[in-house]
Chain A
Amino acid sequence: MAQPDDTDTSLILAAQHGDETALEALASRWWPRLRRWALVELGDPSLAEDASQDALIRMMRHLHSCDASRPFGSWLRRLVRNVCHDLRTKRGLVIPFDHDRPQAPTVERSHDLVRGAQRAREAFCALSPRQRQVLELCDHQGQSADEVAEELEIAPGTVRALLHQGRSALRRRLVAHRVELVALLREAR
């Protein structure tokens, strides 16, 4: 089980006693990860912008209830997940149809995208929410399938299946724009 980071612990305790500088330092340590998790959860950059802002506010508001003896990352990730869930539900009620959802990039569309990082991000966002969560936790944060299963409260077998499906879908989309490689693979068959 993950252990709490000492720096986080002292910053949380200080912030809980009203130290604004500690609160800012804590937010500064976690802000990029908070934004990233929001994007992973929602798969939509503009929604993720709103969710990050909401999550920061909720973090500031509820920090007093955070147990400093436990890993802050787990607490924050749960908070981000709840914010995203609320936002999705709220938007779902107001705008029931998902007009803005990014489409999976096609070969033609990929050529139009100047930056590889943006194209890759779009391909990642086009995966299912569960696939995104599992890929982020396993491939980017290095957690094991069992750890991810525990965190997401799903069966380890499901995590492994999602991981394989997610990687395969993502990689196939990503290499689809490499015309020469696709031709080479086709030739070799």
Chain B
Amino acid sequence: MTCTKVQEQLWELAIEDFDSLEPHLGQCRECAALAAAIREEQQSVEAGLAEFASAVPLREALVRARELKQPASSPAPARWKMLDSGLHWVAIAAAAAAALSVGLYTTVPGNPAAMVPQMPVEVPITVTSACVDLRKLEPGAIAGTLSEEAVECLVLRADDPDDPDLVKAVRLLTVNAFAMGDDEQWERFSTHLAAIEPEDASVAFKLAIHYSRNPGPDGQLNAHLSAERALKVAGVWSGETYVKRAGILHRLNVKATRSIWEERPREAREMARKAALDWLEFSVSESLPLEAPEAACLAVTGDPRCEE
């Protein structure tokens, strides 16, 4: 075996497989030196990771964890974030009515006009009969014909992090908006769905394509973030679907990051470089044509090794 061949293997083989190269290593000073150096450096990596792993004692982390830990049932601060300007008045009105009915305010003895606030109490979000049975709403959502009352009711459910059918409610809203051709609402509900279901690759995939085609003020950044999110969980797809969808995501991620880079040359270079390298890496690993990824890599990194 030639030195070139052995050194190629030394770069890529598992350390324990170096034994198979012993006949050559025993005779060649350079290759033996490289093998020894790689073995030593591998131990440094292990030491480096172990050093980080044990740098903070558990005791210290537990104290902080207990300080920061809150019960899972505590209300999320983003509880109202789904409500748009129209709907949040509905919620506020409902909350105000409920507040009065549970005696959130009390009168001062001798001065019935004065209202003194008591300790705030959590007001439960009311789900009306319009969306109690989600299964019944499916046909209407698919046809895009959900009533306004059902949509408002679903929005309330979609905004309650403790609702066990939260995801289902948001999915119904998303499907309904899509069937109605209401892009704005579809984007809003899909974004919410992507946030509560980060493992749902299809939603992130659709959002990435949506943002890529509709670049608003932050469109390319959103396209990039959605593409990254979808790529992170792209393993749920398999075979041709995986290769095709992941390929599309890499391509539009490169396009999005390059566009951001053009606007912010200093800050976004690393982002564009990483996207281009990831696309190239993916194309190599899936044996896809390399012209476009190589050109993108070369354009961003300026490194002729992209073609190697």
Contacts and interface: CB of A to CB of B under 8 A. Distances in A.
Interface string A161-189: 11011011011101100100100110110
Contacts of B3: 188
B108 interface: no
B122 interface: no
B48 A124 contact: yes
Most B CB contacts (10 A, CB to CB) among A28, A101, A188 go to A188
A98 interface: yes
A5 B14 CA distance: 28
Interface stretch (A9-17, A68-76, A113-121): A113-121
Contacts of B267: 97, 99
B7 A118 contact: no
A31 B55 CA distance: 11
B187 interface: no
A92 interface: yes
Interface string A30-71: 011101100110000100110011001100111000000000
A113 to B, nearest CB: 11
A184 B36 CA distance: 14
Contacts of B121: none
Given A171-B11, A174-B45, A154 B58 contact: no
A67 B274 CA distance: 37
Interface string A72-89: 000000000010011001
A85 B64 contact: no
Interface residues of B, number: 62
Task: Give the contact-size bracket for chain A.
Answer: 35 or more
B33 A57 contact: no
A72 to B, nearest CB: 16
B52 A35 contact: yes
B49 A171 contact: no
Contact of A170 (B37, B45, B68): B45
Interface of A: 24, 27-28, 31-33, 35-36, 39-40, 45, 48-49, 52-53, 56-57, 60-62, 82, 85-86, 89, 92-93, 96-99, 101, 116-124, 128, 130, 136, 138-140, 152-155, 157-158, 161-162, 164-165, 167-168, 170-172, 174-175, 178, 181, 184-185, 187-188
Interface of B: 3, 7, 10-15, 29-30, 33-34, 37-38, 41-42, 44-56, 58, 61-62, 64-65, 68-69, 72, 198, 221, 225, 228-229, 232-236, 238, 242, 260, 264, 267-268, 270-271, 274, 277-278, 281, 284-286
